[in-house]
Amino acid sequence: MISEKMNAAFNKQIKDEMYSSNLYLSMVAYFERIGLKGFANWMRIQVQEENAHAMGLFDYLISRDGCISIEAIDKPETNWASPLDCFEAVYKHEQLVTSLINGLIDVAEQEKDRAAISFLQWYLKEQVEEEANCSEICSRLRFVGEDKHALLLIDQELGARTYVAPTIA
Ligand code: FEO
């Protein structure tokens, strides 16, 4: 059993995670367009992670006998001025997601839903990692500046990222 308010908050977060997935898919297209296949690969994995985040919430809601409602997703941006501009947008977006997860936990606390509070701890920790990863890539992109050779080395490194399905407790 889950309260109506908590149920609605979970449905909204499912939508927000799916928006994240679409935003990053749009970034895959951007990086493919400018020929940075490694960045595109990194972003493709980000898409898979966001889908997993959405499905984790979806399955949790089912396990609590909640009511799933799939909401319309806003159209994401389609273009960025540079890889740095794009990663700064990722960092900003992940900071927004962190605030959304905090908001979800606030609702869980108001509703005295201890199971939801416990479940959402995984998402909270994941956000620390997400923010750290993109902040680090932003710093490196700022450091290399206009150096295309260095940019290609970063591209090569990001191309090695592989997807590991998360175990969402
Ligand atoms: Fe699902 Fe990147 O937060």
For residue 19, the CA-to-ligand 1 centroid distance in Å is 10
Residues near 125 by beta carbon (within 8 Å), at least 6 away in sequence: none
What is the architecture, at CATH level 2, of domain 4-159?
Answer: Up-down Bundle (1.20)
What are the percentages of helix, strand and coil residues in the chain, rounded to 5? Answer: 75, 0, 25
Q: Whose CA is nearest to atom 1 of ligand 1?
A: 50
Work out the widest C-alpha separation in the chain, in whole angstroms: 56
**What are the pLDDT digits (tens) for 93-145?**
999 999 999 999 999 999 999 999 999 999 999 999 999 999 999 999 999 99
Closest approach atom of ligand 1 to CA 54: 1
For residue 149, the CA-to-ligand 1 centroid distance in Å is 30
pLDDT, position 1: 86
Ordered by start, the domain boundaries in the chain are: 4-159
Residue 20: half-sphere exposure toward Cβ, Cα within 13 Å: 29
